[in-house]
Structure 1
Amino acid sequence: MIRTGTVIALRHGPMTLTAAPHCGGSLASWSLSGSGGPVELFRRASDRALEGDFAPDMACFPLVPFSNRIGGGRFVFQGREVVLATDPGSPHRIHGHGWSNPWSVEARTDDALRMGFSHRADDWPWSYRAVQTVALDGEGLTVALDLFNESDSDMPAGLGLHPYFVKTPGTRVTADVRSVWENDDTILPYRNRPVPAAWDFRHGVTMDHPVLDNGFTGWTGSATLERPQERLRLTMLADGPVGHLIVYAPAGEPYLCLEPVTHMTDALNRQQEPGAGVITLPPGERLSMTVRFLVSLI
């Protein structure tokens, strides 16, 4: 159980980041101090959230060793059938292991933190180790994820981040994406199509009304979120094999998620799809991604 006292604070200039390693390796807040008080860049975890251990109540959490959903918790990889326990309230397995397990603190400075998580083979029949490094600097926040296959056989591997951005009236999102997956009633993709005009992030979309929980393909690794009321711009830059962007914008909520991920939803059951993003990680090898969040004024 996470307690407020276990939250770690990092600072660099006017920026403050708090992390809750024992709650899924999560970040609890990221803010910028100003004359009128702190400006929240990520949705801040509530005091109630900090007393629990549910990562989706936090500001950002890592996705390892896969992101989003595996349909029915079942797939076949290199002839091996894998059956995973499904998540409560869902017919699928969601977001891997990192978000629902504690991470250990491996190193810390005033403005940086390294956390680690190890998984031993169980219904996911591969052992692996994950490392997450977060650091503040004069331009913003960097989050780096590394995944190491510690098994003696190839492992299907994926990485991602699940940040919750503050959404104020008039918030506008721009991203270079090529197509979108339509979902069924259980949020599994069933049809890929060109991005409709209402979701055409290439030309910018004001997010006051769109309701989304969809995967976008052909992403070039750059997305911008602008909050005109505060003259604030956040630019997200992903480095690594990160060609997919999940946009989650629930109705009536003051936040939205732009999730940089290495593969499409249910990729392990869609391995024949062009660009599905399934990565085969050999024994002893590493998969890495880095995401920069840059802060500027409009």
Structure 2
Amino acid sequence: MSDEQTGAASPAGLVELAAGAMRLRLAPRVGGAIAALHEQHGDERLDWLRPATPEDLARGDPFAMGSFPLLPWCNRIRDSRAHFGGREIALAAGHPARPSGKHALHGLGWLRPWQVAEAGPARARLGLAREADGQWPWDFEASQLFELDSTGLRCTVALTNRDSAPMPAGIGHHPYFPHRRGTRLRADTAAMWRADAEVMPVSLEAGAEVARLREGVLLSELDLDNNFTGWQRETRIEWPDAGRVLELAADAPLDFFVLYCPRGGDHFCAEPVSQCTDAINLAGRHGPREIGGAVLAPGQTLSGSWTLRRA
């Protein structure tokens, strides 16, 4: 290997793990992101996640990574503003490198470099500590534990309130998968949040999309960027052209599922999350089954695991 070392942080800040043919590359400095997850069989490489290029890594662009953590909330907060426990949340919209409307995106973890707390041949832990400020008025710590074996990856995300007051909390991950011709996806959910033109949830329905996903659907037939409730924590992804099947699974509290599948795109996102978009602002009108989320007492931790396995 050139600028990365197995089980250790390299001068470029990358960490690479290996187990059998499975390879995982982490980019701690780029928001604690996964840069690549693939199998290597001789000269043949099979990418499970969309791989980041050397140029992407040099730019430090989390949007170009294979996946990145979502915390202390998941996806968007409307108008980048909210209130909780007498404190005002006043967030920056989008990402500094890619402005994206007026809504805060994807939490704060993906915007900060993470520290390598542990790195072995097939296991690594990244950590993040963030002090309260005008954007997010709570101190918190977070970690990601990556465990690789010959069949896939297990990732555990943890978020701890280090403040003196209760903190609203959400966790998840944002994986990008290759969208090839014939790619199919199956997921069992209860309902879908319809979104407005700004991709913000407005109504919850058990519509046609829910039935189609339950049966399994060609992703080329969809054009979605929506949250789903009542996810059974299992999603099956099939790439017939490569003869591959991948199972995405999760543990509680990752009970919500986001599918981003732009028509004509070369990638899609299937995200295990603990809350729906804008849950903090929807909490006065909807219950936990509809929006998820948690409130952490001082010192309390919210954690959840998700896995990718070859089927």
How far is 1:168 from its partner?
Answer: 1.6
Identity %: 34
Q: How does 1:141-220 map to 2 (within 5 A)?
A: 141-197=153-209, 200-220=212-232
Among 57, 60, 76, the alignment partner of 1:53 is 60
1:4 and 1:92 map into 2 onto residues whose CA distance is 35
Q: Is the 8 A contact 1:4 1:50 kept in 2?
A: no
1:182-222 CA-partner distances (Å, limit 9, x unpaired): 11111111111113158621110111231111111111111
- Match of 1:33, SS state, is strand
Aligned position for 2:28: 21
How far is 1:178 from its partner?
Answer: 1.2
Residue 117 (1) aligns with residue 132 (2): no
- Match of 1:284, SS state, is coil
How far is 1:142 from its partner?
Answer: 0.6
1:127-147 CA-partner distances (Å, limit 9, x unpaired): 000000111113210111111
Q: TM-score, structure 1 length as denominator? A: 0.95
1:82 and 1:110 map into 2 onto residues whose CA distance is 40
Q: CA RMSD in A?
A: 1.6
Q: Is the 8 A contact 2:88 2:137 kept in 1?
A: no
How far is 1:114 from its partner?
Answer: 0.5
Long gaps (5+) in structure 2: 1-9
Q: Is the 8 A contact 1:178 1:195 kept in 2?
A: no
1:165 and 1:4 map into 2 onto residues whose CA distance is 28
Cα distance, 1:157–1:48 mapped onto 2, change above 3 Å: same
Cα distance, 1:85–1:5 mapped onto 2, change above 3 Å: closer
How far is 1:107 from its partner?
Answer: 0.6
Cα distance, 1:70–1:198 mapped onto 2, change above 3 Å: closer
Aligned position for 2:243: 231
Aligned position for 2:4: none
1:154 and 1:93 map into 2 onto residues whose CA distance is 21
- Match of 1:90, SS state, is coil
Cα distance, 1:197–1:286 mapped onto 2, change above 3 Å: closer
Among 89, 93, 103, the alignment partner of 1:92 is 103
Q: How does 1:64-79 map to 2 (within 5 A)?
A: 64-79=71-86
- Match of 1:6, SS state, is coil
Aligned position for 1:277: 292
How far is 1:80 from its partner?
Answer: 3.2
Residue 83 (1) aligns with residue 75 (2): no
- Match of 2:221, SS state, is coil
Aligned position for 2:16: 9
1:89 and 1:139 map into 2 onto residues whose CA distance is 36
Aligned position for 1:294: 309
Q: Is the 8 A contact 1:54 1:100 kept in 2?
A: no
Long gaps (5+) in structure 1: none
- Match of 2:38, SS state, is strand
1:42-99 CA-partner distances (Å, limit 9, x unpaired): 0011221011112111001000101111001111223433222322332111111111
User: Quick one: which amino acid aligns to residue 221 of structure 2?
Assistant: H
Cα distance, 1:24–1:159 mapped onto 2, change above 3 Å: same
- Match of 2:220, SS state, is coil
Cα distance, 1:89–1:168 mapped onto 2, change above 3 Å: closer
2:209 and 2:200 map into 1 onto residues whose CA distance is 22
Q: How does 1:123-134 map to 2 (within 5 A)?
A: 123=134, 124-134=136-146
Q: TM-score, structure 2 length as denominator? A: 0.91
How far is 1:4 from its partner?
Answer: 8.6
- Match of 2:174, SS state, is strand
User: In terms of mean alpha carbon deviation, does 112-121 or 35-44 score higher?
Assistant: 35-44
2:24 and 2:118 map into 1 onto residues whose CA distance is 16
Aligned position for 1:101: 112
Q: Is the 8 A contact 1:18 1:28 kept in 2?
A: yes
